[in-house]
Amino acid sequence: MPELPEVETMRRGVAEAAGATVTSFERLPCPRKPIGVAPRVDHLRRRVVGRGVAAVERLGKRVVLRLETGDRLVMEPRMTGLVGAGDSPDPFYLRVELGLEGVGLERVWFWDRRGLGKVRLYSAAEFAVELGPEKLGPDGLVVSSDDLHRRLAGSRRAVKVALLDQRAVAGIGNIYAAEILHVAEVHPATRCDRLTQATWRRIAEATRAVLEEAVRYEGSSLGDGTYRNKLNEDGGYQLHHRVYGRAGERCPRCGGTIQRIVQAQRSTFFCASCQRRR
| Catalytic residue ranges | 2-3, 61, 266
DSSP-derived letter for residue 232 is S
The rounded distance, in Å, linking the Cα atoms of 5 and 255 is: 27
Closest listed residue to residue 147, CA positions, set 94, 203, 80, 75: 203
Cα of first residue to Cα of last residue in the chain, in angstroms, is 30
The rounded distance, in Å, linking the Cα atoms of 208 and 216 is: 12
The rounded distance, in Å, linking the Cα atoms of 181 and 198 is: 14
Residues making up the chain, counted from first to last: 278
Q: Are strands 36-38 and 118-122 parallel, antiparallel or unpaired?
A: parallel
227 and 220 Cβ atoms separated by less than 8 Å: yes
Query: Coil, strand, or helix at residue 14?
Result: coil
Q: Are strands 107-112 and 266-271 parallel, antiparallel or unpaired?
A: unpaired
